Amino acid sequence: MSATHVAGEPFGTSKNGSIVHRWTLEAGAVRVRILTYGGIVQSIETPGRHGERGETVLGFPDLAGYEAHGESYFGALVGRYANRIGGAAFTLDGKRYALPANDGPNCLHGGVANFSTAVWDAAPCPDGVELRRVSADGEEGFPGAVDVRVRYTLSAAGELTCDYRATSDAPTVVNLTNHTYFNLSGDGSGGAGTHRLRMAADHYLPVDGTGVPTGPPAPVTGTRFDFRARRTVGRGYDHTFVVGDGAGTIGAPSEEPPAPRPVAELSDPASGRTVRLSTTEPGVQLYTAEHLDGTYAGTTGRPYVAGAGIALETQHFPDSPNRPDFPGTVLRPGQVFRSRTVYGFGVEA
């Protein structure tokens, strides 16, 4: 018998009339809640230094909050292409595809009606829940009908695993991630800039004023992007760190999926809580939520100020469809996109 308790319940009705459910995964002292709206991780509760279980991610208490403030991407499952595609266009096999420019001149997180606003089908699976949707050919300008399946599972040891799988009936580009913001001190506790981060990244991607990479990866040595030794995060980050080469994430169905690599650890001196990331992806986007201004209130009713959360988005590099020197994101018929990210939760004395 599984040590993980899995249960679903109604969470509301979306503006378009779709029934939304919330799935709760609980193992030991860790409890995770997933919404079928946007594939959102609404809640991750873990114990602190003194054993008290507290909320560690940013989110809204009800469906109305997520529908009204989708631009926050709190906990969202992001696609068809996470991060930015420069100039809101790319060329594939000689054909140019125009996309919505929803972030200045660029396409961000797959456009306006992206994966984070869709209501996903859901079914229980061992130790968790599997979400599925088919992104239609031409959705937000992207070619090909893409069948996407995402499994959220919680192990007996309290590790949350996100498994992504996608296939397409035509050549397209795919880049999937989860956009959870962590505040290990607790929801609404203020800024997360005092958290400490260690990242196994020798290089990062310099970007222009719109967040699009300006060139090849640059060394972190001697810069504020050097987190190879654990230090306080601070503020002002929206950058990709290079943690791998992405080899094996797109390939034949018979290929063995790559094993996740330990890439980062975030810790909170106040509560003692930690989260460790392992991933198959080549990049981690560190975003310190500078856009928050107190307008949104979270599950505790307290406002989210600038820097209230830290996102560590495991993904391929931004603008890869326009950068042949970056790890590839082209998915063709007969291939499978696979990605796995594991979040391990702990406590420091």
* Residue (of 193, 161, 118) closest to 260 by Cα position: 161
291, HSE (Cβ side, Cα atoms, 13 Å): 11
Q: In this structure, are residues 207 and 213 in contact, taking their beta carbons and an 8 Å threshold?
A: yes
Catalytic residue among 45, 55, 281, 313: 313
Q: In this structure, are residues 55 and 63 in contact, taking their beta carbons and an 8 Å threshold?
A: no
User: Following CA atoms 334, 94, 77, 46 in sequence, which dihedral angle do they give, to the nearest 10 degrees?
Assistant: 80
* Residue (of 305, 308, 309, 299) closest to 62 by Cα position: 299
Which DSSP state fits 63? H
CA atoms of 54 and 44, how far apart (whole Å):
8
CA atoms of 33 and 30, how far apart (whole Å):
10
Strands 121-125 and 159-168: unpaired
Catalytic residue among 45, 140, 179, 265: 179
For the question of residue 139 being annotated catalytic, the response is: no
CA atoms of 287 and 274, how far apart (whole Å):
18
Could you give the C-alpha distances from 221 to 127, 198, 240, in angstroms and in order?
A: 41, 14, 15
For the question of residue 69 being annotated catalytic, the response is: no
Token look-up 């699009």 returns 212
Return the number of other C-beta atoms located less than 10 Å from residue 171's C-beta.
15
Tokens of 26: 């609980």
Burial class (CB in 10 A: 0-12, 13-18, 19+), 37: buried
Output b/e per residue, 109-131; b: 16+ Cβ within 10 A: bbbeebbbbbbbebeeeebbbbb
Tokens of 112: 């306006």
Which DSSP state fits 103? B
Question: Annotated active-site positions, please?
Answer: 179, 313
